[in-house]
């Protein structure tokens, strides 16, 4: 349920997540786009559900830096 009041979002998912279809992230990003809400979407090919910080996953380990960069760029202190 995205509205014009929805908060900006940093989204990352893995394409082969067995618990949550990656399509959920794609549809969420599409809804954010339609409402002109700031977002960043990253889809990684491999990774189990619930990677958390992903410190043991070479392929997705950089998501934290990407998130920090996005926050610094798009989220302004109030």
3-state secondary structure the chain: CCCCCCCCEEEEEECCCCCCCHHHHHHHHHHHHHCCCCEEEEEECCCCCCCCCCCCCCCCCCHHHHHHHHHHHHCCCC
> Quick one: pLDDT band at residue 45, thresholds 50, 70, 90?
confident
Structure-token match 């002109």, residue found: 36
> Quick one: pLDDT band at residue 58, thresholds 50, 70, 90?
low
> Quick one: pLDDT band at residue 62, thresholds 50, 70, 90?
confident
Return the pLDDT at 18.
Answer: 86
Nearest to 12 by CA among 53, 72, 58: 53
> Quick one: pLDDT band at residue 11, thresholds 50, 70, 90?
very high
């Amino acid at each position: 349920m995205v509205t014009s009041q929805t908060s900006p979002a940093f989204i990352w998912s893995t394409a082969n997540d067995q618990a949550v279809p990656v399509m959920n992230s794609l549809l969420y990003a599409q809804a954010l786009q339609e409402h002109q809400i700031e977002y960043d979407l990253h889809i990684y090919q491999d990774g189990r559900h619930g990677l958390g910080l992903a410190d043991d996953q070479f392929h997705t380990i950089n998501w934290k830096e990407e998130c920090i960069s996005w926050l610094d760029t798009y989220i302004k202190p109030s």
